[in-house]
Amino acid sequence: MGILLGFAPFIVFALLTSVSVSLALWAAFAAGFVITIRDFVQSPTLRLLDISSVVLFGLLALYAGFIQPALSIQAVRLVIDFGLLAIAAGSIAVRNPFTLQYAREQVPKELQEHPLFLRTNYMITAAWTAAFAVTTAADALCTFTPHIPLALDVALGLGAMACAIVFTVRYPVYVRAHAAELGQ
């Protein structure tokens, strides 16, 4: 449930873009801010995805609102998806996959540093990184090749996200089943 809340600002943005890009950005910023504060009050830690979404949507809302008001929805989507790609890839690069913060909330302390648990989170974060790479590439293609329809961009993005979600749900089950077979 925690990681779903982490993606809530991005979901809010996606749902509101048909109404107004500016509204969608500010609402996503507000959602990210509320989630970050709520989580910080419950446990004084800040998650990478939460902080990144507040910064990303806040800066983009300010830029689109005051510096470049005519920024296209495609350009905004490209920046947001590139931001997600940078967050996911960066978390792997600094050896702290962003999914680890959520996964540790669901397992006992004694398993949180187990190599299999850590490797599983690297794999799940890698799956999300790949999904964000696909969405970023689709956004770039549609942004810089105007005759390509937005529907193709959306379809590729939804397909990539669906694959990442399925992998996130199924891979830990697969790992647990095979770990039991190997006696780990």
At 33 the pLDDT is: 97
Rounded to an integer, what distance in angstroms lies between the CA atom of residue 76 and that of residue 90?
21
Cα angle value 95/11/173 (rounded, 5°): 50
Rounded to an integer, what distance in angstroms lies between the CA atom of residue 180 and that of residue 174?
10
At 28 the pLDDT is: 98
Average pLDDT, the chain: 93
Kindly report each contact of residues 27-31 with a partner whose C-beta sits within 8 Å and lies 24 or more positions away, as own/partner. 28/53, 28/57, 28/61, 29/54, 29/57, 29/58, 29/61
Residue 53 tokens read as 């979404």
Residue 179: pLDDT band by 50, 70, 90 thresholds? Answer: confident
Each residue of 136-158: pLDDT tens digit? Answer: 999 999 999 989 888 899 999 99
What is the dihedral sign for C-alpha 104, 42, 1, 150?
A: negative
Each residue of 40-60: pLDDT tens digit? Answer: 898 888 999 999 999 999 999
